[in-house]
A = this chain, B = another copy of it.
Amino acid sequence: MARTKVGRERVARKPGRKGASEVGVDAYRLLRQAIIAGRFVPNERLVEANLSKVLDAGRTAVRAALVRLDQEGLVTREHNRGARVRLVSDDEALQIEEVRAALERLLARQAAAKASSSDIRELRQVIVEMRKCFANGDAIGYSELNPRFHQLIWTAAKNPTAGRLVGTLKSQSLRFQYQTMLRPGRTERSLREHELIFSAIVAHDPEAADGAMRDHLEEVLENLRWAIGNKGRPPQWLPD
C-alpha cells in the first residue's frame, strides 16, 4: 500500500528526460551514434565512468551498451582493460566492403523478385531526387541520398536477416565512406549505376538486378582501393 518509496529519490537524472524511452537502449543508441559519427578518435579509450556522465546513464547501462557494441564490432574490450573504439584497418575495410557487396547483391536480387509497387514508388522518388542533386552539382545532397536508396532496397527485399547484417557492416566501415565520392566524375557514373539497378528492380528481373548491383559495388570497391592507396595525402577535389 502506498509504499511510495521515499527512501531513495528516483529523481530524474536530469530535469528534461523523455519519459517513454528506456535508459539502457538510449545509452546504446547514443553511444553508437557518437562512434559512427566519428566523435571519438580511433582507439580512444572508453571509460565507463565518463560515458556514464556524458550519456547520463548508470554504469550498468553503459556496460551493457559496450557489450552490445563489442559484439557488433564497433568497440573492442579487453578483460580488466576496458573498451576502446575499434580501429578498422584498411584491409579489414576492404574485407567488410567485399562482404557487404555479396549481401547487397543478394538483396538486390530479392528486391527485384519481391518488390511491391509502393517500394518501387519510393525508389523512383529517390532516383528523381538524385537526378536533381546531380543536375545542381549538389554532391553532398547526393551522398545523403545514397544510403536511403540502399535501405529502400533492403526493405523491398523483405529479408530482415540480411538487412540487419548489412546495416552493421555499413556502420563498421562508415569512416571510410567519405572518401568515396571525391573523385571527379564519380557522381555521374554512380547515378547511372543506380538507375540501372532501379530499372532492373522495376522490371522484376533478379538476374539483371544482381548484375547491376555487382557492377555498382565493384566500382565502389575500386574507388575504396584507390582512396586507400592515396592515403596520407589530404583528400581534395581535383578540379576538372
Asked, given contacts A22-B79, A79-B22, whether A99 binds B162 with beta carbons under 8 Å apart, the answer is: yes
Which residues of A32-84 are within 8 A (CB) of B? 63-64, 67-68, 70-72, 79
- Which of B63, B105, B161, B165 lies in contact with A92, CB distance below 8 A? B161
Instruction: Report chain B residues within 8 Å CB of A110.
Output: 98
Assembled-state Cα–Cα distance A106/B106 (Å): 12
Q: Does A96 contact B (CB under 8 A)?
A: yes
Copies of this protein chain in the complex? 2
- Which of B68, B72, B159 lies in contact with A98, CB distance below 8 A? B159
- Please, what's the 1-or-0 string for A88-120, where 1 marks a CB less than 8 Å from any CB in chain B? 000010011011001101100010000000000
- Chain A residues close to B by CB (< 8 Å): 22, 25, 63-64, 67-68, 70-72, 79, 92, 95-96, 98-99, 102-103, 105-106, 110, 159-162, 165
